[in-house]
Amino acid sequence: MKQHLNRCPKRRLVGDITQMFIKSDLKGEISSGPYDEKKRREKLGKMIIMHDYPLSMVEHSGFKDFTSTIQPLFKCHSRNTLKNDIMRIYSEERDKVMSLIENIDSRVAITTDMWTSSNQKRGFMAVIRHFIDKSWTLHSKILRFIYVPCPHTSDVLTDVLIDVMLGWNVDSRLSTIIVDNCSTNDSMIGKIKAKLNVGCLLNGGSLLHMRCFAHILNLIVKIGLDVIKHAIDNVRESVVFWTASPKRIEKFEDVCRQMKVPYAKRLGLDCPTRWNPTYLMLKTALVYKSVFPRLKLFESQYKNVPSDKDWETAKNVCDRLELFYNVTELFSGTKYPTANMYFPIICKVKLTLNEWVKSPNEVISTMAKSMSDKFNAYWNVIHKLMGVAAVLDPRYKMTFLDFNSPKVYPYDYDEQISNIKYLCYDLMEEYYIKKNKVNDVNNQECTLDGSVFSYTVVVIC
């Protein structure tokens, strides 16, 4: 039988290929070419970076045994050597990104935010740059994720952010810095502007500070949710109770099956600092509205069952918060530009709040009034540059602003429209001067009767 198998052509071919791999492996070669130690170490470093593995894994006996089985010639180096490999990879990738930034004509926008770790209570700053290349592709990459020592004052944040911008050579081509809406950031932007060359900034630095609209929406909605805090707390307590242990979760699933309520999505808790999870928690809990009263019959410790009024309030709130949730999701997109969508969306939010204020439902009208007051307080500090982005969208131009501004600016819409229009003229003039590289001050002058003004009118009207 053995001789018959050896005479089989296919069996001999498999054996020959196996022997070829074994021999080539011992010689330091594989079927695709010679063994490359440097490439293997680079791939290992990228794997560690990609999956956030601990550096110490290369010193584990199991990992050494595994790699020796795959490729006996591969030598597992120490964690310090791996660290050096990773830093070299970082330097190479950093050079690629800097080269890409230096070869583009567009400006670079910076977004930054602080994050405090829950375990060590240490503060970190994430700095992300955004730009559009020559093919109009949006790029968003993290420049630094850096530890920021306490106290997190405006001076400390300014020094950290300036150091990042200088290190990446983006200080001379900044367009805007997007930050959350708080007094510390307001002070920080002023100090950053004082340290930068104002001549390199858009419109003399007047457009440098951009407030994060997603954060403003978060503040507005949280103000509204405070009005119905009692109803939300009752639903939250029920969700907390039935997600506290695996046994309770299993009991919840059993009752759902008994009542023939599809258990398509698990209950989830919300986050106290963000309203989005609160909306999702209420939306999911409403699916199992009929299950909670039934659960009280099975569990004597379950006492805080939401009332019909609580569920009605939750339903009304969810229906209205869906707009804000969709807007937040839209503005949070990273694969496409969002500035041009700002003005149409903000108009929709403003007009919707005005309708809610007139609602016959007292809870909704009270909630909407609180949200509208907060919205109006922030509306005036949201920058005109976002209006310019809408004007440059060929679907809108000035026609859209002229149509919607009386509804959004009920008292001074003529002045607001003029501000946006003349900002377009100023930016176009600045762009014209830059592209023509005019050094003589007399040649840089461009009046409203000049060609720049005429061309700008054609563009935006």
Q: DSSP for 202-267, please give it.
A: GGGGTT-EEE-HHHHHHHHHHHHHHHTHHHHHHHHHHHHHHTSSHHHHHHHHHHHHHTT----S--
User: Where are any strands of DSSP class E within 42-155?
Assistant: 108-116, 123-132, 138-148
Q: How confident is the model at residue 288 (pLDDT cuts 50, 70, 90)?
A: very high
The pLDDT of residue 33: 57
The pLDDT of residue 446: 44
- Opening angle at CA 328, ends 322 and 333, nearest 5: 130
User: pLDDT, tens digit, for every residue of 333-377?
Assistant: 777 777 788 788 888 888 888 888 888 888 888 888 888 888 877
* Cα–Cα distance measured from residue 9 to residue 29, given in angstroms and rounded to the nearest whole number: 26
- 455 closest CA partner among 427, 434, 415: 427
10 Å CB burial of residue 108 (0-12, 13-18, 19+) is buried
- What is the rounded average pLDDT of the residues 211-234? 82
- Exposed e or buried b for every residue in 153-181, given b needs 16+ CB within 10 A? ebebbbbbbbebbeebebbebbbbbbbbb
402 CB neighbour count, 10 Å cutoff: 13
Full-model pTM: 0.71
- Opening angle at CA 352, ends 351 and 358, nearest 5: 95
* Cα–Cα distance measured from residue 281 to residue 239, given in angstroms and rounded to the nearest whole number: 8
pLDDT for residue 148 is more than 70: yes
**What single DSSP character describes residue 381?**
T
Map residue 59 onto helix, strand or coil: helix
Q: How confident is the model at residue 14 (pLDDT cuts 50, 70, 90)?
A: very low
Token pair belonging to 115: 């994050």
* Cα–Cα distance measured from residue 183 to residue 191, given in angstroms and rounded to the nearest whole number: 13
10 Å CB burial of residue 350 (0-12, 13-18, 19+) is middle
Phi, psi of 310 (to 5 degrees): -65, -45
- 276 closest CA partner among 332, 201, 358, 194: 332
10 Å CB burial of residue 238 (0-12, 13-18, 19+) is buried
pLDDT for residue 438 is more than 60: no
pLDDT for residue 433 is more than 50: yes
Q: How confident is the model at residue 382 (pLDDT cuts 50, 70, 90)?
A: low
The pLDDT of residue 279: 87
The pLDDT of residue 161: 92
Q: Among 110-114, 116-120, 259-263, 284-288, which is the least confidently predicted range?
A: 116-120
Mean pLDDT rounded to a whole number for the chain? 79
Q: Which residue has the higher pLDDT, 459 or 13?
A: 459
Asked whether 286 and 311 are in contact (CB, 8 A), the reply is yes
Q: How confident is the model at residue 417 (pLDDT cuts 50, 70, 90)?
A: confident
Can you list the alpha helix ranges (DSSP code H) found in 71-182?
79-102, 154-167
**What single DSSP character describes residue 46?**
H
Token pair belonging to 380: 């005036």
Helix-helix angle 451-460:413-436, to 10 degrees: 120
pLDDT for residue 443 is more than 60: no
- SS percent in the chain: helix, strand, coil, step 5: 65, 10, 25
- 369 closest CA partner among 354, 347, 351: 354
- 294 closest CA partner among 284, 305, 285: 305
Q: Which residues contact 330 (CB under 8 A, 6 or more apart)?
A: 338, 341, 345
10 Å CB burial of residue 31 (0-12, 13-18, 19+) is exposed
* Cα–Cα distance measured from residue 82 to residue 67, given in angstroms and rounded to the nearest whole number: 15
Asked whether 239 and 383 are in contact (CB, 8 A), the reply is no
Note the Cα 50 to chain centre separation in Å. Answer: 19
Asked whether 364 and 320 are in contact (CB, 8 A), the reply is yes
